C-alpha cells in the first residue's frame, strides 16, 4: 500500500487497475482488505482505490481524540483522490464507509461522479435514536479499551482485516462512528448523482435504512442481495459485483 501524510497522520491506500475511478471505503473495524474480491474482479475495467481509515489497519492511530471525526475522514478521502491525480470518482462504501460516502458528497459534490451505498444508513433525525446509536458506539469503544483487539467482532469483513491499535479503534468509535447531527440524512433528497443503494437480505438492522435512502435519493437504484448479511460483497461476491458493474456501466463517459 502507498502512504499519504495528512498533517503527520499516515493514511494507507491502494490504487489498482485502470479506467474510471472508484473509491471504496470500508466499515468500522474492517480494513481495505474487505474489498480484495472487488479489486480482483474489477481492476481490469476500473481503477479501484481502497484505503484504511485512521485508527484502522495500516493507517496511523494518533493519540489525540480530536483527530478522529467525520470531517477528518472526508478530507482523508479527498486527499487520497488528489494524490491519485483525480478530480472526480465514483464514491462508494459499506456501513461506516457508506455513511462517510454520503458525508463526502455533502462536502465535495464536485468530486462525486456517482454514489454506491452498501449495507449502510444515513444517520438519524430523531435525537433519541441518535443517542441510542452513540451509546452503542461508546460501548464498542470501551470494549476495545478493556479487551484490546479481542473485542473485534466475528463478521465477515472484520475476520479478513488486521489492525495494529485497539486504542485507535476506540477513538474512531467515539469520533467517527458516533454521530452528532442530522446533516447527512437531510442531504438525501439533494443528491444529484446516480446512486446505487444495496443491502444483503439478511442484514436486518439496515433493511429499513436502505428503503429510506432509496425512497429519498432521486432516481436511486435499490438492489437486495439474497442470502447475504452485512458484508454483502463477501457473502455473495458475484451478485454484488454484478450490481456494481451495472451501475458503473450505466454512467456517461467521465
> Whole-angstrom Cα distance, residue 63 to residue 162?
19
Q: Has residue 130 got a pLDDT over 90?
A: yes
> Whole-angstrom Cα distance, residue 112 to residue 110?
6
In a domain? residue 161: yes
pLDDT for position 1: 86
* Pairing of β 47-51 and β 89-94: unpaired
Q: Has residue 254 got a pLDDT over 80?
A: no
* Pairing of β 21-25 and β 89-94: parallel
pLDDT for position 174: 98
- pLDDT tens across 71-122, in order? 999 999 999 999 999 999 999 999 999 999 999 999 999 999 999 999 999 9
- pLDDT tens across 7-52, in order? 999 999 999 999 999 999 999 999 999 999 999 999 999 999 999 9
The average pLDDT across 214-220 equals 98
CATH number at residue 199: 3.40.50.1820
pLDDT for position 253: 85
Percent of the chain with pLDDT over 90: 97
In a domain? residue 254: no
The average pLDDT across 128-133 equals 97
In a domain? residue 57: yes
Please, what is the end-to-end C-alpha distance for the chain in angstroms?
Answer: 26
pLDDT for position 200: 98
- pLDDT tens across 163-186, in order? 999 999 999 999 999 999 999 999
Range of the domain at 103: 2-249
| Count of domains forming the chain | 1
pLDDT for position 31: 98
- pLDDT tens across 136-168, in order? 999 999 999 999 999 998 889 999 999 999 999
Average pLDDT, the chain: 97
In a domain? residue 213: yes
- Residue 182 burial (CB count, 10 A): 15
In a domain? residue 9: yes
Give phi and psi for 87, each to the nearest 5: -95, -15
Residue whose cell numbers read 451495472: 246
Amino acid at each position: 500500500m502507498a502512504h499519504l501524510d495528512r498533517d503527520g497522520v499516515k493514511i494507507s491506500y491502494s490504487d489498482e487497475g485502470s479506467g474510471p475511478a472508484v473509491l471504496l471505503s470500508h466499515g468500522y473495524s474492517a480494513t481495505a482488505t474487505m474489498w480484495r474480491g472487488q479489486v480482483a474482479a474489477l481492476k481490469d475495467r476500473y481503477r479501484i482505490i481502497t484505503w484504511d481509515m485512521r485508527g484502522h489497519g495500516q493507517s496511523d492511530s494518533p493519540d489525540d481524540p480530536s483527530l478522529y471525526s467525520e470531517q477528518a475522514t472526508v478530507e482523508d478521502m479527498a486527499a487520497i483522490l488528489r494524490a491519485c491525480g483525480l478530480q472526480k470518482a465514483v464514491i462508494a462504501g459499506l456501513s461506516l464507509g457508506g455513511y462517510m460516502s454520503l458525508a463526502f458528497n455533502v462536502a465535495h459534490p464536485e468530486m462525486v461522479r456517482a454514489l454506491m451505498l452498501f449495507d449502510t444508513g444515513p444517520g438519524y433525525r430523531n435525537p433519541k435514536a441518535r443517542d441510542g446509536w452513540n451509546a452503542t458506539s461508546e460501548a464498542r469503544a470501551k470494549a476495545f479499551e478493556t479487551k484490546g483487539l479481542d473485542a473485534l467482532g466475528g463478521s465477515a469483513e472484520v475476520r479478513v482485516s488486521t489492525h495494529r491499535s485497539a486504542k485507535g479503534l476506540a477513538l474512531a468509535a467515539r469520533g467517527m462512528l458516533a454521530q452528532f447531527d442530522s446533516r447527512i440524512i437531510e442531504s438525501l433528497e439533494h443528491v444529484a448523482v446516480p446512486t446505487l443503494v444495496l443491502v444483503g437480505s439478511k442484514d436486518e438492522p439496515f433493511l429499513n435504512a436502505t428503503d429510506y435512502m432509496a425512497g429519498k435519493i432521486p432516481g436511486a437504484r435499490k438492489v437486495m442481495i439474497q442470502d447475504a448479511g452485512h458484508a454483502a460483497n463477501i457473502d455473495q461476491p458475484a451478485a454484488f459485483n454484478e450490481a456494481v458493474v451495472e451501475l458503473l456501466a450505466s454512467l456517461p463517459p467521465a
